Amino acid sequence: DAKTTQPPSMDCAEGRAANLPCNHSTISGNEYVYWYRQIHSQGPQYIIHGLKNNETNEMASLIITEDRKSSTLILPHATLRDTAVYYCIVRVGSGGGADGLTFGKGTHLIIQP
């Protein structure tokens, strides 16, 4: 799986959009970009994933650059409960289940009141 690079920490004001960048310059054509988050030692929580098109769900939006070498996770209206470590993970899908996730150190997002 391709390596990802994320800033170690970011601050965002409550109610504003939080934009979390991820660099994955060695991504290959069949690899998806996944975002998970971990709130204070709870189990990681899936947020969103995409291949090359921008994606949106009830939690967030994912913007992937045209060359697919980087992406941005957008939390449109951050709340204090969004304070967490956010992980960008690149992986190939595997029909046989050989798809353990490789977590990096992620970005610690702190939402300020």
The contact set with other proteins (CB under 8 A) reads 32, 34, 38, 41-46, 49, 87, 93-105
Give the three-state DSSP class for 21. Answer: strand
CA–CA dist 43, 12 (Å, integer) = 23
Least separation, in Å, of the C-beta of 98 and other proteins?
4
Instruction: Please say which residue, 9 or 46, places its beta carbon nearer to other proteins.
Output: 46
Instruction: Please say which residue, 14 or 59, places its beta carbon nearer to other proteins.
Output: 59
CA–CA dist 60, 13 (Å, integer) = 16
CA–CA dist 65, 100 (Å, integer) = 25
Least separation, in Å, of the C-beta of 36 and other proteins?
8
CB neighbour class for 41 (10 Å; exposed up to 12, middle 13-18, buried from 19): exposed
- Name the nearest CA neighbour of 7 among 82, 102, 89, 106: 106
Instruction: Please say which residue, 30 or 67, places its beta carbon nearer to other proteins.
Output: 30
Instruction: Please say which residue, 14 or 55, places its beta carbon nearer to other proteins.
Output: 55
Least separation, in Å, of the C-beta of 113 and other proteins?
26
Least separation, in Å, of the C-beta of 48 and other proteins?
9
